[in-house]
A and B are shown apart, each in its own frame.
Chain A
Amino acid sequence: MLTRLREMHSPLAWGLIAGAALLIAALPAIGLPEYLVPQFGKFLCFGIAALAMDLVWGYAGILSLGHGLFFALGGYSMGMYLMRSIAGEGVYRSALPDFMVFLDWKTLPWYWSGFQSFGFAAVMSLVVPGVLAFVFGWFAFRSRIRGVYFSIVTQALTYAATLLFFQNATGFGGNNGLTDFKRILGAPLHDPTTRRTLYLVSAIALLGTYFVCRFVVTSRLGRVLTAVRDAELKTRFCGYESTHYKVFVWTLSAMLCGLAGALYVPQVGIINPSEMQPSNSIEMAIWVAVGGRGTLLGAVLGAWLVVGGKSWLTAAIPSAWLYALGALFVIVTLFLPRGLVGLGAKLRPAVDMVIARLRRPAKAT
């Protein structure tokens, strides 16, 4: 086990990671303003999604333009639990959610059953995206759909799902989605303690996700994965069933994204089909591209930078955000193929030289 841990990171790196994790987890306690706690919690969830994206794109070379779908499905699962937990407290005072009463529905649809239990919803937030990913991935990878073909098919999938969920008849609240949540496991959502707990849980989940991802990519499987990315046919000739590997990492990634969504929803208080839109998913890709593909930590960093930038810019100059985003896509792909982490690596020799110069003792000759 210890060797395995050493394979994952050097002790120094482990120390830094532990330190950073502690710092992040302790933020609310050491002075993060109350109203920012859910915001930062949201960032943590995006970090999880970014890791999931990096796993599948940076390491397996599969660019998904529809990961938002898995994120949203996880979110909807949790949303359904939250909805059912406030049964009888809506505008219509009915056991059914308000939007169903509005549609004149008399009973809860069968696919809502079970979601009154938190445990069930939590499990479903992993299982539903996982199963969908498994089935879709099985069919797609088995017929050797790869590269851009695969990407545009994922985009079509998420687009179709968005359309489906926008419809009221589907039973998930239509374009309003699920909202007006009040409590989670009895605790009021707007209560500072609840918020801090959710934040902490998200931080732990992020750390756990990082651990899982790092474990995977430093294992033999991880090396096979990158081999499949670089030369799939060759791996097949070496005896590896590449389809299985792709399906595995694709499903794992989807489940992690579902987890991120499930933690996201209680903290933002709403889930609607716009989370599934292709544009959302494509933005996830730019997080990873900005930070640095295939570096895990870079992906998280990229996510925080881009989402942070978006929050700031949409508040400061709203119409500029789309320009900035579009330009970001172009600039990063053209000039930063390895993201900021890669840039850092390139700059390292220069930095080293500067440091060496600074260190040179001022000796008189």
Chain B
Amino acid sequence: MSATAATPPTMEDERPTPIVSIVIPDSALPDSPPPADDSTLPDVGRRPYVLWVEDLSVSFDGFKALNGVTLELETGELRCLIGPNGAGKTTLMDVITGKTRPDTGGVFLDRRENDLTKLSECRIAELGVGRKFQRPTVFQGHTVYENCELALRGRKGVWSTLFRRRTPAERDRIQDILKIIGLSEHAARPAGLLAHGQKQWLEIGMLLAQDPKVLLVDEPVAGMTHAEMERTAELLRSLAGKHTIVVVEHDMEFVRSIARRVTVLHEGRVLADGPMAEVQADPRVVEVYLGE
């Protein structure tokens, strides 16, 4: 691949994919900067849910992609979102991250006042929602190091970035992340030159750097080897608790290995919701996956 790809595929060309949420282990962040919002406020009077979706409906040209979806994510849980193609998983992620506006309903982060459906994508990201897309979207022209640096949590306004210095603390943080994702030797390489799997990991790394509260992870193990899948599962498990994760996946074995609670979407509605074993045994779910 040439070092100078003329126009890398932009995200605008892609079908938005389900979101991947990734949690950053504490060890990678010796000094986490204060979060952008005030989630450190005492818990008094706050619901146990960090993110909840209320009666969300989205239709495109008459086709109802989401039909009254309600979902609640408890702080620190690791939820898997599954369902056949066209069930609305991607659309749901799009709405949460602000890429698509719903027709009705709301998405709330921490408190009722934070209605994500009224905020822009970057504001939502600032508030602590991170997303990993199915097709790895990294900044092809930038090095691996720069990719992580760009994603790094911190002030992201124009004046801040114009005069920002590179601090040793930041450097260390990025090095730690690179170690976790196994790209330390490639730090100076343009991301466009990485292999597909490496790009996946880079994107995971970027999400770690972003250190969001809620991570939406879309098909993290697509195209991964068994060993890599193991590593990813381990990473996700360790991240849960401090962060909340929603994983969209089709690989049932992977889902089984990480999931505690599973939500099944079908034709824009929540079909089933509960522990893995219960959902697996649910006849409606079986019919949807195997029937017709």
Contact = CB atoms under 8 A, between A and B. Distances in A.
Q: Touching in the complex, A and B, CB below 8 A?
A: yes
A223 B162 contact: no
Contacts of A237: 97, 121-122, 125, 130-131
Contact of B157 (A233, A236, A244, A337): A244
B11 A231 contact: yes
Interface string B125-144: 11000110000011111100
B120 interface: yes
Given A230-B140, A236-B122, A238-B125, A220 B161 contact: yes
Nearest to A244: B158
A248 B178 CA distance: 32
Contacts of B10: 230-233
Nearest to B139: A227
Contact-residue size bin, chain B (C-beta under 8 Å from the other chain): 35 or more
Given A226-B142, A230-B140, A236 B163 contact: no
Interface string A231-256: 11111111111101100100000000
Interface stretch (B52-60, B146-154, B224-232, B254-262): B146-154
B131 A230 contact: no
Nearest to A345: B4
Would you call the interface of chain A mostly helix, strand, loop, or mixed? Answer: helix
Contacts of B126: 239
Contacts of B130: 237
A224 B125 contact: no
Contact of A338 (B4, B141, B161): B4
A323 B132 CA distance: 50
B146 to A, nearest CB: 6
A240 B139 contact: no
Given A230-B139, A238-B125, A223 B146 contact: yes
Contact-residue size bin, chain A (C-beta under 8 Å from the other chain): 20 to 34
Given A219-B161, A236-B120, A241-B157, A231 B8 contact: yes
B6 A337 contact: yes
B31 interface: no
Contacts of A224: 150, 156, 161
B5 to A, nearest CB: 9
B8 A230 contact: yes
B149 A223 contact: yes
Contact of A219 (B4, B6, B150, B162): B162
Interface in A1-40: 3-4
A233 B142 contact: no
A221 interface: yes
A8 B12 CA distance: 32
A216 B162 CA distance: 7
Contacts, number: 91
B121 A231 contact: no
A223 B141 CA distance: 10
Given A219-B164, A221-B161, A231-B137, A240 B8 contact: no
B206 interface: yes
A269 interface: no
B8 to A, nearest CB: 6
B210 interface: yes
B150 A227 contact: yes
Contacts of A219: 161-164
A342 interface: yes
Contact of B150 (A4, A232, A238, A338): A238
Interface in B180-218: 206, 210
Contacts of A239: 122, 125-126, 156, 210
A232 B12 contact: yes
Contacts of B123: 241
A241 B157 CA distance: 7
B193 to A, nearest CB: 14
Nearest to B97: A237
A342 B2 CA distance: 13
A47 B163 CA distance: 26
A220 B99 CA distance: 25
Contacts of A233: 10-12, 99, 121
Interface string B159-170: 001111100000
A164 B203 CA distance: 50
A238 B141 contact: no
A43 B242 CA distance: 60
B181 to A, nearest CB: 16
A221 B162 CA distance: 5
Given A219-B163, A221-B161, A338-B4, A238 B146 contact: no
A4 B162 CA distance: 12
Interface in A106-148: none
Contacts of A216: 162
Q: Point out which of A216, A230, A244 has the most chain B C-beta atoms below 10 A from its C-beta.
A: A230
A248 B158 contact: yes
A218 B11 CA distance: 25
Which 7 pairs show the lowest CB-CB distances between chains A and B? A239-B125, A233-B11, A220-B161, A221-B161, A236-B121, A220-B164, A221-B162
6 contacts: A226-B141, A231-B139, A234-B139, A235-B150, A238-B156, A245-B158
Given A231-B139, A232-B11, A239-B126, 9 more contacts: A3-B165, A4-B165, A220-B149, A221-B158, A223-B142, A234-B137, A234-B139, A236-B120, A236-B122
